[in-house]
Amino acid sequence: MYYNDNTLIYLDGEFVKANEASTDLYSQTLHYGYGVFEGIRAYATEDGTQVFKSHEHYERLKRSAELIQIPFDYDVQALVDATDELLRKNKLTDAYVRPLVFCDPNMTLARPNNVSIMICAWEWGAYLGDKQLRLTVSSYCRPHPRSIKIEAKVCGHYVNSILATNEAKDKGYDEALLLDSDGFLAEGPGANLFFEKDGVLFTPQLGNILPGITRATVLELAEELEMEVQQGLFKPNELFEADSAFYCGTAAEVIGIASVDETVFPKTWKDSLGRKLQDAYSKRVRETSNVLSKN
């Protein structure tokens, strides 16, 4: 359960009870998926709770809204502060935070005049678990970048993710791997892909994927650890010949991939570059650079 009788959410500038808040069933977002959202994690650190890369997530929320022309008149710092306050009020430490910008009632396909923002948070363990994943290449491809704004985190885009995840699970796999519409490796339904070959890391370039904030953090960490990374367009056979691979995302964090369809990666996870990055990531998110003020 995501909330109980005492849970508060942030809604348009106020903190209200989750079980008393409501929305209009005629919302354009509910009918057409025309809304934008974020997924953020907060971590308990030695000095208190820290929302990891809160500014970056709210900047991406703003950019997502702008890309699909949803009015966004919110101040990023105010949303960062509201998130800190929300966690304090709900006494949450390790938590997942979900902001959502949704539109007013509107049954037309015209752009809305008014939108609302809600932020909720709940305790959430590792999204894809902590075992290495068995993936299957999805029969669904990522939406073509000329069909939608692929860099935006838009509600409706997640139908593609849900279809791919369900298909993978129905076939007995843990998760899907999606290609882009030209057959290049793209990403998971909710995570970005990296793979390792002969000591070098490879990851699909931006353009046909969501520009993941965890992906950016992994690139920073790889640089600090002096690992070579190549970004580009890669075909599935390059992944099948890799030594190891991993997914990364806010909810999934860094998680090893054991196999893709029939291909089992030869390197054990503990010896992989992914494992080093996984350790570095879990340290980085708990570094106390940005701890919420205690009260």
Catalytic residues: 153
Q: Residue 120 interacts with ligand PMP (CB under 6 A)?
A: no
Q: Residue 35 interacts with ligand PMP (CB under 6 A)?
A: no
Q: Which of 92, 118, 119, 213 binds ligand PMP (CB under 6 A)?
A: 213
Angle ∠(122,125,126) on CA atoms, nearest 5: 130
Minimal distance, residue 256 CB to ligand PMP, in Å: 16
Beta bridge partners of 253: 249
Within positions 48 to 107, which residues make up the interface with ligand PMP, using CB under 6 A? Answer: none
Q: Residue 39 interacts with ligand PMP (CB under 6 A)?
A: yes
Q: Which of 61, 191, 219, 255 binds ligand PMP (CB under 6 A)?
A: 191
Minimal distance, residue 189 CB to ligand PMP, in Å: 6
Q: Residue 112 interacts with ligand PMP (CB under 6 A)?
A: no
Q: Which of 35, 143, 190, 256 binds ligand PMP (CB under 6 A)?
A: 190
Minimal distance, residue 175 CB to ligand PMP, in Å: 12
**Positive or negative CA dihedral for 183, 187, 192, 193?**
negative
Q: Residue 28 interacts with ligand PMP (CB under 6 A)?
A: no
Q: Residue 212 interacts with ligand PMP (CB under 6 A)?
A: yes
- Number of C-alpha atoms within 13 angstroms, CB side, residue 59? 7
Taking residues 124 to 163 in sequence order and writing x for each that binds ligand PMP by CB under 6 A, - otherwise, the string is: -------------------------------------x--
Minimal distance, residue 96 CB to ligand PMP, in Å: 11
| CA-to-CA dists, residue 202 to 144, 193, 222, 227, angstroms | 22, 9, 11, 11
Within positions 244 to 273, which residues make up the interface with ligand PMP, using CB under 6 A? Answer: 249-250
Q: Which C-beta is closer to ligand PMP: that of 99 or that of 249?
A: 249
Q: Which stretch binds ligand PMP (CB under 6 A): 9-17, 86-94, 188-196, 235-243?
A: 188-196
Judge contact between 96 and 122, C-beta under 8 A: yes
- Number of C-alpha atoms within 13 angstroms, CB side, residue 2? 11
In the 3-class helix/strand/coil scheme, how is 14-60 assigned residue by residue? EEEECCCCCCCCCEHHHHHCCCEECCEEEEEECCEEEECCHHHHHHH
Q: Residue 204 interacts with ligand PMP (CB under 6 A)?
A: no
User: How many residues bind to ligand PMP according to rule CB under 6 A?
Assistant: 13
Q: Which residues bind ligand PMP (CB under 6 A)?
A: 39, 161, 187, 190-192, 210, 212-215, 249-250
